[in-house]
Amino acid sequence: MKKHRLWLLAVLLIMAVAGTIASRAQDTKALRPPKGAKVAIVVFEDMQCPDCARAHPLVEEAARTYKIPVVRYDFPLPQHEWSMEAAVIARYFEKKSKKLGHDFRTEVFKHQQEITKQNLRPFAEKFAAARKVDLPVFVDPQGKLAAEIIAERDFGQRIGITHTPTLYVVSNRTSGTPFVEVVDRSNLFQLIDEMKREAR
Mean pLDDT of 34-57: 97
Instruction: Give me the pLDDT at residue 177, please.
Output: 77
Instruction: Give me the pLDDT at residue 198, please.
Output: 86
Q: Is the pTM of this model over 0.85?
A: no
Structural domain includes residue 17: no
Count the domains in the chain. 1
- The pLDDT tens digits of the residues spanning 66-123 come to 999 999 999 999 999 999 999 999 999 999 999 999 999 999 999 999 999 999 999 9
Structural domain includes residue 186: yes
CATH of the domain at 107: 3.40.30.10
Structural domain includes residue 54: yes
Structural domain includes residue 8: no
Name the packing angle between helices 144-158 and 2-28 (round to 10°): 120
Report whether pLDDT(18) > 70.
Answer: no
Domain that holds residue 183: 31-198
Strand partners, 43: 72, 167
Name the packing angle between helices 50-66 and 188-198 (round to 10°): 40
Structural domain includes residue 24: no
Report whether pLDDT(19) > 50.
Answer: no
